[in-house]
Amino acid sequence: MTDHYAVFGHPISHSKSPLIHTAFAEQTDQDMSYLAIEAPLGDFAGTWREFVAQGGRGANVTVPFKEEAHRLCDHISERARRAGAVNTLLLADDGTTHGDTTDGPGLVADLRRNNVRLEGARVLLLGAGGAVRGVLEPLLAERPAALFLANRTAAKASALAADFNDLGAISGGGFEAVTGQFDLVINGTSASLSGDLPPLPEALFTEGGVAYDMMYSAEPTVFMRWAEAQGARAIDGLGMLVGQAAESFLQWRGRQPDVEPVLATLRQQLG
Ligand code: ATR
């Protein structure tokens, strides 16, 4: 029997998840469907219940339903509890709903794929919104030497760092508080969407330093271009997108898909 999966969002037509999961299912020979469904605003729990009643086994959840999805779960992973948001729902055999967030594992997997070392690294993370909160637990689990959160609104970064300081060496503040050099600078702000560059000091990167933008687009983002001009290696977030999907897929199907061919297809389509 075919198992049904979907990504829920509003809007959702732009989603690459159906392409990614359909490719993963073909690779691993899974009898499953995966659709993009635009859910109505207001009652996401009702949307999920209806989907389950029609044979739904799991789902990805995106803007603006990640927090509502978090609230409807019967069980939740520690990293999703910390994130306050869920991007992956799984219906267990006993009918309960499990929630997880795979954005962080997707980011960590993509950094590893790009040979970026996190253990012992000095990491600067730009932003203090939902996207950053969602990746902090898995990032800190890799034991960076120091993780500094810098945000336009300094108080948000300090508060977010305080929420996670039991997990590692994390602190936060405004962009003006950024000092020293970093092995890895991750842009988790939405500034790239509007073509803005967070105000960052020169000489920010160590020798061999890496810039990672959690966003992606056909052209390198303004943050990536700035980082390259500073001598850093720049990577966009397309691999994180495929990586979070691979982690969701693994949880649903117990199979680890190969991200490389899917990433190549997406990259080609972007170009
Ligand atoms: P997301 O879910 O993408 O994280 P969010 O929770 O609204 O969305 O957070 C957006 C993040 O991008 C915030 O850190 C925001 O900074 P503020 O907290 O000061 O608002 C940051 N951001 C958005 N536009 C920016 C810009 N033009 N320059 C710098 N930071 C920006």
237 Cβ below 6 A of ligand 1: no
Q: Are the C-beta atoms of 139 and 147 separated by less than 8 Å?
A: yes
Class in CATH terms, 3-101+240-270: alpha beta
128 Cβ below 6 A of ligand 1: yes
CA angle 156/159/160 to nearest 5° reads: 85
62 Cβ below 6 A of ligand 1: no
Rounded to an integer, what distance in angstroms lies between the CA atom of residue 242 and that of residue 237? 9
Rounded to an integer, what distance in angstroms lies between the CA atom of residue 221 and that of residue 192? 6
How high is the pLDDT of residue 204? 98
How high is the pLDDT of residue 192? 87
Q: Which residue, by CA, sits nearest to atom 24 of ligand 1?
A: 191
Centre of ligand 1 to C-alpha 103, Å, is: 17
153 Cβ below 6 A of ligand 1: yes
- What is the CATH topology of the domain spanning 104-236? Rossmann fold (3.40.50)
Phi, psi of 40 (to 5 degrees): -70, 150
Q: What is the pTM of this model?
A: 0.97
How high is the pLDDT of residue 160? 98
Centre of ligand 1 to C-alpha 128, Å, is: 7
Does residue 203 sit in helix, strand or coil? Answer: coil
How many whole angstroms from its chain centre is CA 180? 26
Q: Are the C-beta atoms of 156 and 128 separated by less than 8 Å?
A: yes
How high is the pLDDT of residue 64? 97
Q: Any idea which residues carry the catalytic annotation? A: 66
How high is the pLDDT of residue 271? 86
Across the chain, which has 271 residues, the per-10-residue mean pLDDT values are 96 96 98 97 97 98 97 97 97 98 98 98 98 97 98 98 98 98 98 92 97 96 97 98 98 98 97 86
Task: Say whether 104-236 and 3-101+240-270 share the same fold.
Answer: yes
Would you tell me how many other CB atoms lie within 10 Å of the CB of residue 237? Answer: 25
How high is the pLDDT of residue 98? 98
How high is the pLDDT of residue 208? 97
Going from N- to C-terminal start, the domains of the chain cover 3-101+240-270, 104-236
- Candidates 113, 116, 164, 160; CA nearest to 138 is 164
Which amino acid, residue 111? Answer: L
